[in-house]
Structure 1
Amino acid sequence: DKTSRFTDWSRRPLSEAQKTYALADVTHLRVIYEFLAKELARTGRQKWVEEELAILLDPETYITRPEEAWLRVKTRTTSGRFLAIVRELARFREEYAQARNVPRSRVFKDDALLELASTKPTTLEELGRSRLLLREGRKPEIAEGILAAVTAGLAVKPEDCPKVEGDRDPGQVDSALADLLRVLLKAKSESAGVAQKLIATSSDLDALAAGDRSVVALKGWRGEVFGADALRLCKGEIALSAKGGAVRVVSV
């Protein structure tokens, strides 16, 4: 029964139906916990969980500073001016969203932000031509904030425009190496019994194939399961072979 899923849980008293609904969320947690605890002890993976919990318990995990919000916006454009406008738009959006405790996507979405950084509107008339800015983003206070952010981005001195450090041109990704890393990840995932996406993302693999050595997949338990051999593969120290339907790592 999902009728209570939209409950305002701050209001009292709760009805019996609401209490039952809330209890259902934890009814089986004790049994699940005991099972997983035994599995972690058996496999020696308690440290893996502790690493993940440390991230979840760190307040920094949940803090987005407005001046750094632009780093979360995915774009392949490396133009300093473009990124300066992205930075100012992302800063405004984050400040606006945090002040009103609403999701940043409700202010305007990333695709609209990138469009605005490209078209650089400085008047309401120019802003009105946006194809991706939804109705919420056209409200006067948001529209004015957008125009102010674009103006601020355009005013940034060339030497102060943001630079994407450590990134290589996406065209320099070694596609053959990236494909080999995907094969290695699949093999390691099956061997460890852990979903591939928990170990490394497609972006991680492309970054590795482009020479980036800062990806999360190289650290902690992920490094043990996949990262160490991934680096060896990148260096040409190992090769992959197939035997009996399974992928094997072979030292070179």
Structure 2
Amino acid sequence: MKTITTTKDLAAFCAEAAKCSYVTVDTEFLRERTYYSKLCLVQLAYRDDGAEDAVLLDPLADDLSLEPLYDLFRDAGVVKVFHAARQDLEIFYVDVGVIPEPLFDTQVAAMVCGFGEQVGYETLVRKIAKADLDKSSRFTDWSRRPLTDAQKKYALADVTHLRDIYEYLSDRLGKSGRKKWVAEEMAVLKDPATYQANPDDAWKRVKTRTTSGKFLAIVRELARFRETYAQERNIPRNRVYKDDALVELASTKPQTEQDLGRSRLLLREARKGDIAQGILTSIKTGLAVKPEDMPKPDNDRAKLQVNPALADLLRVLLKAKTENEGVAQKLIANSADLDALAAGERDVPALKGWRREVFGNDALLLCEGQVALAVKGQKVVTVAL
């Protein structure tokens, strides 16, 4: 089990990997005590004319720069293969603004190939590579050195079996003509906006039961301050204050540190100092927002006049189509999308790209009363009216 700790050795490995059609990639990281993930290990593997190589990169080593790896990520001639890539890609994007291209996510590909919803790596290893994984090192501290042999074995398995999984899925997609489906799904993962946490939008993640504009204006300011504070100090946002405390503050609107001391949910550290002043300033700013500038909740879906019978028919159609095509249902549409269709909405993902071909066109015909559903043998089919 080779571990690379110098830039020279990494450059040599990447030069060999660049001669191959693809390279498999995985990472180990910590995020429990930081806002941004701390990269602790990178695993790489390739296969070239039967020859194989797999290594671990130690980004915590003093003599290692990851620039040769980033050059490989920029190499358009080598497919970069990940499983459930989003968190891995976020690390590299935040570090140097690099998003590997071209990109292949085996979790997405497996959903397209009918392996179920958000299928796990272990399941694909068992079903495709016909192997078992030792997951005993899954929750270890990857920042501690030296790494144990068990940790190294566990980490390498995340990229060695990935070679077989990628080759199997790629071949299956090629035969079914569905490579373009996966390519469309990769667009979201390759979009830098996917990895940018804008403090101005942080309030949208806070769940509240109140839709008052003034209340939401305070929530927006408190969430913005918390996000900015956490980013600048690289600490988890919940270490500043949790969502329930934020909602409590927006409701009680404390004006002084003494008022903050009466909070039931606010962390002790947040009742004084910089955080306390940030809270009080945020509340003051939120209270001063003009009515026309107050945030407005997205009530459009709540106001939809959903035809429940039609929504049920769309669910039957979706199940029939996905079973026939061998693709995961949630990859095409979720319950909210189906309800929106049944309410007359047309700006939904199910009516775009490959989803429209598989489901959307018939869904529209069903909504417009141009087709009906019927049972033919063991299948549900559409019948023109």
Identify the TM-score tier after normalising by the shorter chain: 0.7 to 0.9
Q: Does residue 223 of structure 1 match 2:359?
A: no
Equivalent residue, structure 2, for 1:8: 142
1:33 match: secondary structure = helix
Q: Deviations over 1:156-201 (max 9, x none)?
A: 0011112346824346333333323222222222122222222222
Q: CA deviation at 1:127?
A: 4.8
Structure 1 pair 13–153 and aligned structure 2 pair: CA distance change class (3 A)? same
Q: Which moved more, 1:16-25 or 1:40-49?
A: 16-25
1:172 match: secondary structure = coil
Q: Deviations over 1:84-137 (max 9, x none)?
A: 223222212221222233443454444544454444444456555656x36378
TM-score scaled by length of structure 1:
0.80
Q: Does residue 235 of structure 1 match 2:368?
A: yes
Q: Which moved more, 1:104-113 or 1:41-50?
A: 104-113
Equivalent residue, structure 1, for 2:267: 135
The residue identity in structure 1 corresponding to 2:333 is A
Equivalent residue, structure 1, for 2:39: none
**Distance in 2 between the 1:13 and 1:239 partners?**
64
Q: Contact 1:181/1:205 (CA < 8 Å) preserved in 2?
A: yes
Structure 1 pair 195–163 and aligned structure 2 pair: CA distance change class (3 A)? same
Equivalent residue, structure 2, for 1:151: 284
Q: Deviations over 1:188-232 (max 9, x none)?
A: 221222222222222222333344333333322223222333333
Q: Does residue 198 of structure 1 match 2:320?
A: no
Q: Contact 1:168/1:210 (CA < 8 Å) preserved in 2?
A: no
Equivalent residue, structure 2, for 1:169: 302
**Distance in 2 between the 1:24 and 1:112 partners?**
42
2:369 match: secondary structure = coil
Unpaired segments of 5 or more residues in structure 2? 1-133
1:240 match: secondary structure = strand
2:160 match: secondary structure = coil
Q: Contact 1:106/1:136 (CA < 8 Å) preserved in 2?
A: no
**Distance in 1 between the 2:251 and 2:375 partners?**
47
Q: CA deviation at 1:37?
A: 0.9
Structure 1 pair 42–107 and aligned structure 2 pair: CA distance change class (3 A)? farther
**Distance in 1 between the 2:376 and 2:165 partners?**
37
**Distance in 2 between the 1:120 and 1:210 partners?**
39
1:35 match: secondary structure = helix
Q: Deviations over 1:16-67 (max 9, x none)?
A: 3432232121121111111101110111110111112222122111112111
The residue identity in structure 2 corresponding to 1:147 is L
Q: Does residue 40 of structure 1 match 2:173?
A: yes
- Structure richer in strand, relative to its length: 2
Structure 1 pair 3–38 and aligned structure 2 pair: CA distance change class (3 A)? closer
**Distance in 1 between the 2:251 and 2:368 partners?**
39
Q: Contact 1:172/1:210 (CA < 8 Å) preserved in 2?
A: yes
**Distance in 1 between the 2:251 and 2:378 partners?**
49
Equivalent residue, structure 2, for 1:86: 219
Whichever of the two has the greater Rg, that structure is: 2
Aligned-residue sequence identity (percent) comes to 66
The residue identity in structure 2 corresponding to 1:67 is D
**Distance in 2 between the 1:199 and 1:153 partners?**
39
**Distance in 2 between the 1:227 and 1:129 partners?**
54
The residue identity in structure 1 corresponding to 2:345 is D
**Distance in 1 between the 2:174 and 2:164 partners?**
16
Equivalent residue, structure 1, for 2:152: 19
What root-mean-square deviation, in Å, do the aligned CA atoms of Structure 1 and Structure 2 show? 3.1
**Distance in 2 between the 1:52 and 1:34 partners?**
19
Equivalent residue, structure 2, for 1:184: 317
Structure 1 pair 168–28 and aligned structure 2 pair: CA distance change class (3 A)? closer
Q: Contact 2:304/2:340 (CA < 8 Å) preserved in 1?
A: no
Unpaired segments of 5 or more residues in structure 1? none
Equivalent residue, structure 1, for 2:341: 208
**Count, aligned residues:** 250
Q: Does residue 63 of structure 1 match 2:196?
A: yes
Structure 1 pair 213–4 and aligned structure 2 pair: CA distance change class (3 A)? closer
